[in-house]
């Protein structure tokens, strides 16, 4: 089965969101697609085509390229960096879907649904290895080390999540630590790595690191809010699917804190009338002000990201990075 590539955004959408680097995003898509086209093993080629067909708005690669605009904008080194970031992200999704036994992601069959768990684990491993090969093409030891640290942080974040499934003692700080590793660390590496590769001044490299980190935390909190409010047809998953799967996100944690005694989540996680109690919890969270409270937390991290941008020189790059923040808070999927 050959899958038609669906990489990237429309040129109009990318142009308005990613400004000065929008025209270079096709090079990243081409680099990703070359992974599948250069494989001589047909089964692996089909799996790669399927996995790489789902790359979306290319936000992380775009942020890497925007970081590169702060110094010497060398696409021969920046494209491999940006491609490695997107490939690493995609590989983690492949592994996540195996762990979660997910049959669909955003309405499309997952690799494990099509090819089985064992093959999908190896597919993710192959993609991790290829991401490392991309990052080595930057010829920048600092970036290679940052990439390795990020991979370790992402693995720890995923382990934290897996080890706390159906555990109702999760608190806000542990949640933030988890999403920092699982999501925000890659945004941070993309932003910092682009500036590093370009040889930007140290204070601007640090500003990009802080921007990416806080943007990534805000992004994940918004994602967790959308799990309760998003259109299932657009999101590609049922409302409250994280909670139904035993994962406590910020809205649910705040709900647990507000209702420490008569709490349907606790009963559900203990195996008592699980679906009915989860459905009740989802309804009560949606009808409360907890989603607004969660959004206020996301906005605070957004302001931290915006504050980091003040170190950067005024101009199109800073304005575009600021606009990406606005997009994160306005998105519906």
Q: Could you tell me the sign of the dihedral formed by the alpha carbons of 83, 23, 63, 52, in that order?
A: negative
Tell me, what's the pLDDT at 39? 87
Q: Is 109 helix (H, G, I), strand (E, B) or coil?
A: strand
Per the CB < 8 A criterion, the answer to whether 64 and 38 are in contact is no
Q: How many CB atoms are located within 10 Å of the residue 40 CB? A: 6
Q: Which fold has domain 11-330?
A: Farnesyl Diphosphate Synthase (1.10.600)
User: What's the 3-state SS for 263-331?
Assistant: CHHHHHHCCCCHHHHHHHHHHHHHHCCHHHHHHHHHHHHHHHHHHHHCCCCCCHHHHHHHHHHHHHHHC
Q: What is the Cα–Cα distance from 264 to 199, expressed in whole angstroms?
A: 53
CA distances from 203 to 117, 231, 312 (A): 44, 41, 8
Q: What is the Cα–Cα distance from 307 to 326, expressed in whole angstroms?
A: 14
Of the CA atoms within 13 Å of residue 175, those in its CB half-sphere come to 22
Q: What is the Cα–Cα distance from 150 to 128, expressed in whole angstroms?
A: 12
Tell me, what's the pLDDT at 14? 61
Q: What is the Cα–Cα distance from 221 to 323, expressed in whole angstroms?
A: 18
Q: What is the Cα–Cα distance from 89 to 51, expressed in whole angstroms?
A: 11
**Residue 119 CB partners (closer than 8 Å, separation 6+):** 43, 47, 111
pLDDT along the chain (333 residues), means of 10: 35 75 96 90 91 83 98 97 95 84 78 88 93 94 94 89 84 94 96 97 98 98 95 79 93 94 91 95 96 98 98 97 97 80
Over residues 201-236, the pLDDT tens digits come to: 999 999 999 999 999 999 999 999 999 998 887 776
* DSSP track, 167-220: -TT--HHHHHHHHIIIIIHHHHHHHHHHHHHTT--HHHHHHHHHHHHHHHHHHH
The whole-model pTM stands at 0.92
**Four-point Cα dihedral 54, 36, 14, 133, nearest 10:** 110
Tell me, what's the pLDDT at 257? 94
Per the CB < 8 A criterion, the answer to whether 65 and 21 are in contact is yes
Per the CB < 8 A criterion, the answer to whether 224 and 184 are in contact is no
Tell me, what's the pLDDT at 232? 81
Residue carrying structure tokens 């988890």: 178
**Residue 286 CB partners (closer than 8 Å, separation 6+):** 228, 229, 239
Over residues 30-47, the pLDDT tens digits come to: 999 999 988 889 999 999
Of 317, 96, 285, the C-alpha closest to 211 is 317
């Amino acid at each position: 089965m050959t899958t038609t590539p669906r990489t990237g955004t429309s040129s109009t959408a990318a142009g308005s969101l990613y400004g000065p680097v929008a025209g270079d995003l096709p090079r990243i898509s081409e680099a990703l697609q070359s992974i599948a086209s250069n494989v001589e093993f047909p089964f692996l080629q089909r799996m790669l085509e399927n996995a790489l067909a789902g790359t979306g708005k290319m936000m992380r690669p775009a942020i890497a390229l925007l970081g590169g605009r702060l110094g010497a904008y060398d696409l021969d080194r920046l494209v491999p960096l940006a491609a490695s970031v997107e490939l690493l992200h995609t590989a983690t999704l492949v592994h996540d879907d195996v762990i979660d036994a997910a049959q669909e992601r955003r309405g499309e069959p997952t690799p494990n649904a099509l090819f089985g768990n064992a093959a999908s684990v190896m597919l993710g491993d192959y993609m991790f290895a290829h991401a490392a090969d991309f990052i080595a093409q930057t010829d920048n030891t600092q970036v290679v080390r940052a990439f390795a640290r990020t991979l370790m942080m992402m693995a720890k974040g995923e382990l934290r999540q897996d080890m706390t499934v159906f555990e109702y003692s999760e608190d806000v700080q542990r949640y933030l630590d988890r999403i920092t590793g699982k999501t925000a660390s890659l945004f941070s590496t993309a932003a910092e790595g682009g500036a590093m590769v370009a040889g930007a001044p140290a204070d601007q490299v640090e500003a990009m690191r802080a921007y990416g980190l806080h943007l990534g935390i805000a992004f994940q909190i918004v994602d967790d809010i959308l799990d309760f409010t998003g259109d299932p047809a657009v999101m590609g998953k049922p409302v409250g699917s994280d909670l139904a799967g035993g994962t406590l996100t910020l809205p649910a944690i705040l709900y647990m804190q507000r209702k420490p005694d008569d709490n349907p989540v606790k009963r559900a996680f203990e195996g008592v009338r699980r679906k009915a109690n989860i459905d009740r919890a989802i309804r009560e969270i949606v009808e409360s002000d907890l989603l607004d409270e969660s959004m206020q937390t996301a906005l605070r991290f957004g302001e931290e990201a915006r504050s980091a941008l003040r170190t950067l020189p005024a101009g199109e790059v800073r304005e575009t990075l600021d606009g990406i923040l606005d997009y994160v808070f306005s998105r519906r999927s």
